[in-house]
Amino acid sequence: MKGAVTAVLVVVGLVQLMAMPGEAVDCGQVNSALASCIPFLTGADTAPSAACCGGVKNLKALAPTTADRRAACDCVKAAASHYPNINEDSASSLPKKCAVEVNIPISKNTNCQK
């Protein structure tokens, strides 16, 4: 009987671990991924650099779950607020220009909870 109880407790513990969401993305990772995009986003460059597009691809990899994408979106929004000269058209076109499908809006005006 003691062995059966132990087995049940182990299974319950494993199920809880599998059901727990992963750690949310932290803003340092997001900022680092997109730092090389600032010249494009502010109009200093007419196209995103290879490093910028690599960062966009990295951002996609950092945020595989809905919770991660929301956290990353909040980070992008917070970072964008520090750059008043970000061009919203450049920001919204960045994933397409980098040929990366990212379900994270790159904008300072987005609602990240949707």
Q: What is the CATH number of the domain that holds 101?
A: 1.10.110.10
pTM of the model: 0.75
- Asked if residue 8 belongs to a domain, the reply is no
Residue with tokens 């058209």: 89
Of 61, 65, 71, 73, the residue nearest 22 (C-alpha): 65
Number of domains the chain is built from? 1
pLDDT digits (tens, 9 = 90+) for 45-81: 999 999 999 999 999 999 999 999 999 999 999 998 8
Supply the angle between the helices 66-80 and 27-34 in degrees, to the nearest 10.
60
**For residue 69, what are the domain limits?**
25-114
Q: How far from 82 is each of 18, 50, 59, 61, 77, CA to CA, in Å?
A: 37, 23, 19, 24, 9
pLDDT digits (tens, 9 = 90+) for 10-51: 333 333 333 334 567 899 999 999 999 999 999 999 999 999
Take residue 108 and report the two structure tokens written for it: 């300072």
- Asked if residue 5 belongs to a domain, the reply is no
**Longest Cα–Cα distance in the chain:** 71
- Asked if residue 81 belongs to a domain, the reply is yes
Residue with tokens 């300072």: 108
User: What does DSSP assign to residue 106?
Assistant: -
- Asked if residue 4 belongs to a domain, the reply is no
